[in-house]
A and B are shown apart, each in its own frame.
Chain A
Amino acid sequence: MAVLVLAEHDLGTLSASTARIVAAAAELGAVDVLVAGEGVDQVTIAAAAIAGVAHVRVAQSAELNGLSAEALTPLLEHLAPDYTHVIAAAASVGRDVIPRLAAKLDLMPVTDVIAILGPNRFERPIYAGNAIETVTSNQPRHLLTIRASAFRPAAQGNAALIEPVDASGVVAVARFVAAHRTEGDLPDLSTAQIVVGGGVSLGSAEKFALVEQLAGKLGAAVGATRAAVDAGYAPNDWQVGQTGKIIAPDLYIAVGISGALQHLAGIQGAKKIIAINSDPEAPLVKLADYALVGDLFEIVPALIAELERLGVKR
């Protein structure tokens, strides 16, 4: 049994989730990684270094830049017969391409997998994580997206074989117009060990910086509720929840967040949760491991000062 993992990458950097997807895929068979795009040498090297990867297959073509579903689908259709499983992270590229590929191959995909119980048995959440489905697929081939946060990363230090794949026939239909990237050198939200999340109660983009300061102090990634993103206080790629990113940090600090079920869907995997909220009845206060009830505008600056005093540095 061999498994193909589609690598997600941006600006010449391999996505941090790839090592986790490889670790999950290794439960299913020998793992090959597909790297698609132009100028992907660094991405290829990074993929080859992940423990458990047998081959990195490289499809070089400008038509694959942007990793559009229209360009990737025929390429994956062509490679799929060599594999029992074709897998991508449950992130924007994988979510875009795997269902399209599935329809082309007349297969039902299993997406957002959080546990692999066997070669054809998987667990996936439904209803914003309020229920977990155990699914068996008796299809000849399995197309999966996997939640990176549900798996630990594979180790580094491998040197997998690198081999080219013919991508000469690939054509992108979509034309690139513009990209808006959130600048900054914060840790990757989906895989961060610590995340500080802020809600709409921060009140403005300027005041949302308080959340970012606390995150900076802890070397944490920054998350936000949909309400905070909709209000323009935080960029969309910080949204955590059913329709944003799913995170599973060791520590999640929720600042002024009520804990709507769509938000909780994104943090179920967090090991420890701390809530700072003025409302003792807020759902997040009730389920947090530690909660401090009070005004975040007093608590957060005092907390930063206290962490400073204790010499916390990460």
Chain B
Amino acid sequence: MHLCGYIGLPSVREALLTAKEVFHEMRNEK
């Protein structure tokens, strides 16, 4: 969220969506 002011909200939003997918994937691996 700290990056929003530097690189813009759309990129950060996309990054958070990617993070959500990765974390979900990692949870399923365990």
Query: Is B one of A's binding partners?
Result: no
Which B residues form the contact surface with A (CB < 8 A)? none
